[in-house]
Amino acid sequence: MKFLKMILALIGAVVIAAMILIGVKYGGMLKQFDPEAIGAFSNMAKLVLETGDPAKGMILKKKMVIPEGMTKQEAIDNAIEVMDEVASQHGLAMVDHKVMPRKTGIYTQIRSYCSPTIADVFLTYSAEYVGFMPCRIGIIEEPNGDIYLYTMNLDLMIHGGKKLPPKLRELAMEVNAGMMGMFESGAAGEELEE
């Protein structure tokens, strides 16, 4: 029991020393970070630690509802129509789409959305934002026949470093609202009103 207490005390001391070292070395920089940065990194790290898969820490996944009376393809076509409509409400345009058949014949489609004017503002701020462009939603039929929507979690792009300037943050939040609206509405099986 004494040995276990010593080990735990040693681990605690190492953790405290590491925190002090990080605070001294990076404390000034961390004060400039977005207040939500730690939460965004924590959420990602939790998912990566739980699954061992870094993609699961950065990507959102939602099962698509197949409305009664619709085939899978009709539901997918409906989801695409709904997503395109929600995108236009947020100033996002569908800029590309690819249907990628798997050898097994399982359906995969990737749809890309962007606002050139918003993209220009972000790239002027930091060219590295090109890695987030265009925003994408994937529609994938799983081996069991269920269909899921996938999209990148934009929290780290928005909150993962220094707080974005107000106008840039506003644009980022609008893009995120658009992508989340598309993701949720497309997966929910909602239909456009005629």
Q: Where are the domains of the chain?
A: 59-188
Give me the CATH code for the 59-188 domain, please: 3.30.310.70
Nearest one of 106, 103, 98, 167 to 134, comparing CA atoms: 98
How crowded is residue 148: how many other Cβ atoms within 10 Å of its Cβ? 14
Tell me the pLDDT band of 93, cut-offs 50, 70 and 90. Answer: very high
Q: Quick: pLDDT tens for 47-77.
A: 988 999 999 999 999 999 999 999 999 999 9
Tokens coding 171: 């644009």
Mean pLDDT score of the chain: 88
- In whole angstroms, give the CA distance from residue 179 to residue 134: 11
pTM above 0.75, yes or no: yes
Confidence grade of residue 180 (pLDDT, cut at 50, 70, 90): very high
What is the pLDDT, as a whole number, of residue 23? Answer: 61
Cβ-Cβ contacts under 8 Å for 157 (sequence gap 6 or more): 129, 132, 172
Contact 156, 41 (CB under 8 A): yes
pLDDT (mean) for 122-137: 94
Q: 75 vs 61, 66, 104, 131, CA distance in Å?
A: 17, 6, 21, 30
